[in-house]
């Protein structure tokens, strides 16, 4: 019993020292946590979603980028609707992604697809019990390996919604900041299978579009 308590204490200490990297050792606890969250359903086109939990709908737009082969992809962009000091009228504001240090990464997230497997995909989650809490975004990535049909290691990058309430110059009003990276336990061909098995998180809906 004492050894179990000591082991958990070590895991907690490690997570505090290195919150950006979570290994398979404590993945089961995260899986239980993520599996209890609601997966926001998304379709091609506009999706009305309350991103920050203020009771007002924001927007996730999903667009298909076809290229006449098996490697087209979906692009996910996030927007919030609010006024600011410079523009008192309601406007749509892009919500970009930054790394753990606040360095800009991307303005959007895309899938990475092959004929056999998805190498990258996304999930948007919210607590079903606390609707006033912001969503979190998880981007799942599979190493390329030898080909799109290969099985390779996976990781999940977790982003939390942040508000630049102080109006710090150079930063957007709202942005998704990288919180941690979770390494999967085994190799997968399709990252969506890894989402289910590693995190207990289902799909966001029908993914087939007219391409």
Give CA–CA dist 134/56, Å, rounded. 12
Percent of the chain exceeding pLDDT 70 equals 83
User: Tens digits of per-residue pLDDT, 60-99?
Assistant: 999 999 999 999 999 999 999 988 777 778 899 999 999 9
Kindly list the domain boundaries of the chain, sorted by start residue: 22-199
Q: Structure pTM? A: 0.83
pLDDT at 14: 36
Mean pLDDT, rounded, of the chain: 86
pLDDT at 10 over 80: no
pLDDT band at 138 (very low <50, low <70, confident <90, very high): very high
């Amino acid at each position: 019993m004492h050894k179990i308590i000591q082991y958990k204490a070590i895991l907690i200490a490690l997570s505090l020292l290195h919150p950006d990297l979570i290994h398979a050792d404590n993945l089961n606890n995260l899986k239980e946590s993520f599996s209890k969250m609601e997966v926001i359903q998304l379709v091609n086109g506009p999706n009305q979603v309350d991103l920050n939990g203020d009771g007002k709908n924001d927007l996730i737009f999903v667009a298909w980028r076809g290229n006449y082969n098996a490697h087209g992809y979906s692009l996910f962009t996030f927007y919030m609707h609010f006024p600011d000091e410079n523009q008192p009228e309601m406007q749509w504001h892009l919500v970009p992604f930054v790394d753990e240090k606040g360095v800009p990464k991307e303005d959007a997230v895309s899938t990475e697809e092959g004929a056999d497997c998805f190498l990258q995909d996304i999930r948007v989650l919210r607590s079903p019990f606390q609707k006033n809490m912001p969503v979190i975004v998880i981007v799942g990535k599979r190493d390329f390996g030898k080909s799109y049909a290969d099985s390779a290691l996976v990781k999940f990058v977790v982003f939390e919604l942040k508000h630049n309430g102080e109006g710090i110059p150079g930063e957007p009003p709202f942005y998704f900041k990288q919180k941690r990276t979770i390494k999967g336990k085994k190799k997968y061909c399709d990252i969506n299978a890894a989402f289910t098995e590693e995190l207990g998180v289902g799909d966001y809906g029908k993914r087939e579009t007219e391409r």
